[in-house]
Chain A
Amino acid sequence: MKREELIQKWLDHALSPEELEAFKQLDDYEELTKMQTALQYFKAPEVDVNSAYNTVTTTKKETSKSTTWLMPLLKIAAILVIGFGTYFYTTLPTLTTHETVVAHKTRVELPDTSEVMLNAVSSVSFDKDAWTNKREVNLNGEAYFKVAKGKTFSVLTDDGIVTVLGTEFNVKQRNDLFEVFCYEGSVKVTHNDKNVVLSPGESYGILNGKEFRYEEENLKEPTWIRNESSFKSLPLQEVIQEFERQYNVTVEAKNIDTSQIVTGSFTHTNIDTALQSITLPFNLKYQKKQNSIILKRD
């Protein structure tokens, strides 16, 4: 038998006894056995199968239980997040907001050159992108609008909606007071499904849920634009609140009936003059302390 064949058979552990004898006669025999002995040092170490088995079978309990119910939940959560994200991103309007703080007024120009004068502690917001289709402004507080001619223009407040075509008007929405005054053109006020149309000089107001109207008056613009707040037949507390907004102070009215009706005005430029114009008609006295003012009976 050929040498190579013998080695092949040896490699396959398939030598017959006679062949083994022949193999031993080969020149290579010694070298091959030497290698064979040495190779035993390279045997893979024995692993502890039993302890490995325990480790593997216990890991299942820890991992699989938590993943089986968590995975579907995570999938759903991910879909919801993506869904809502895109929904809000694509559908929610990008609102531009302008705000004023106490004792500040500001002028806001709308995309179509309509103008908004914003009184103290008020805010307007509108959607710039949708402006050409929908002229809509959200208002909180008091503002005077000079609307450029064009499509319907709406002012949305918590108390009602004011709709116009092109005109000048003032909207005041403070706590329990809602007041619209028309200066030019015509204005439609919608409050609780009720529509009222105002002509120049007319006004419409709601105080504590009750409607009221002022007498017609010929004014060009609200007085607060010229730094003077004026009131007609409104409770004293409305005046005090407006005073606080204009001067950044707190007013304490002790033992005073703040529901008394006031007609009058106060300036925004001089606190003493303003206080006098509020207190004198009622025979009240005032004390100034840092950021608060105390009103007392004389």
Chain B
Amino acid sequence: MPKSLQDTICNEVLFSNFFKKHYQSLYSYLYYKFGDYLNPEDKTQEAFTKLWQNCGKVKPEKAKSYVFTIGNNLMLNEVKHHKVVLQYQKIKPKSHTNENPEFLMQEQEYLQKLQRAIGNLTESERTAFLMNRVEGKRHKEIAAILEISTKAVEKRIYRALAKLREDIEEL
């Protein structure tokens, strides 16, 4: 096992690199898991602030799981009372002239169904699935971020896909 050169993450260059590498990643993780409703950006920032304040106590190799755990806990504190609604970004429909209004309406409908179906997934399924589908991450990468086995990631994603298809069919 490679021995880390720095004992702590207090070094400014080290922290800065770590920050740029994992900030968006933690934010996305919290966003997929808990939705936009409970302000995952605040929690992400808070988690990194905690790391910076306690940098003397955190070894560089532990820093990633440190911020993920804190971010997760901060969200969990708030999530108890709320049901997650993952808000999809409001992207303006393409201004294609050949798409008739009926088609656009169907598309909207489909998005709403999908949104509801995603909301019905369990947190762990949703997180893994969206990281995979939206961010284009491979199973191995997701396994590394969530600190679980590749096999577990595979199962979650496949189960999520099956559930989504079923849900959309029904709706």
Binding site for B on A (CB under 8 A): 7-8, 11-14, 31, 34-36, 38-47, 49, 52-53, 55-57, 59-60, 63-64
Contact = CB atoms under 8 A, between A and B. Distances in A.
Contact of A42 (B15, B130, B139, B165): B130
Contact of B138 (A7, A14, A55): A14
Interface stretch (B58-66, B73-81, B96-104, B153-161): B153-161
Contacts of A42: 32, 86, 88-89, 114-115, 118, 130, 134
Contacts of A7: 158, 161
Contacts of A56: 19, 45, 48-49, 52
Contacts of B115: 42
B68 interface: no
Interface of B: 12, 15-16, 19-20, 23-24, 27-28, 31-32, 36, 41, 44-45, 48-49, 52-53, 86, 88-89, 91, 107, 110-111, 114-115, 118, 130, 132-136, 138-139, 154, 157-158, 161, 164-165, 168
A60 B86 CA distance: 32
B23 A53 contact: yes
A49 B23 contact: yes
Contact of A44 (B16, B107, B134): B134
Nearest to A40: B134
Pairs A-B, 9 closest by C-beta atoms: A44-B28, A44-B31, A41-B88, A43-B134, A49-B23, A56-B48, A39-B133, A42-B88, A56-B49
A46 B27 CA distance: 9
A14 B157 CA distance: 14
A43 B44 contact: no
Contacts of A11: 132, 139, 154, 157-158, 161
A64 B56 CA distance: 12
A45 B91 CA distance: 12
A33 to B, nearest CB: 11
19 contacts: A7-B158, A11-B132, A11-B157, A12-B138, A31-B165, A34-B110, A35-B165, A39-B133, A41-B89, A42-B86, A42-B118, A43-B135, A45-B89, A52-B41, A56-B48, A57-B15, A59-B53, A60-B49, A60-B53
Contacts, number: 98
A39 B23 CA distance: 22
Q: Is the interface of A mostly helix, strand, loop or mixed?
A: helix
A64 B53 contact: yes
B151 to A, nearest CB: 11
Main secondary structure, interface of B, reads helix
Contacts of B89: 41-43, 45
A82 to B, nearest CB: 28
Given A12-B154, A52-B45, A60 B19 contact: no
A60 B27 CA distance: 21
A4 to B, nearest CB: 9
Contacts of A64: 53
Contacts of B19: 49, 52-53, 56
Contacts of B157: 11
Contacts of A52: 19, 23, 41, 44-45, 48
A35 B136 contact: no
A57 to B, nearest CB: 6
A38 B118 CA distance: 12
Contacts of B24: 44, 46-47, 49
Contacts of A40: 134
A44 B27 contact: yes
B111 A38 contact: yes
Given A39-B134, A41-B88, A53 B111 contact: no
A59 B49 contact: yes
Contacts of A63: 53
A64 to B, nearest CB: 5
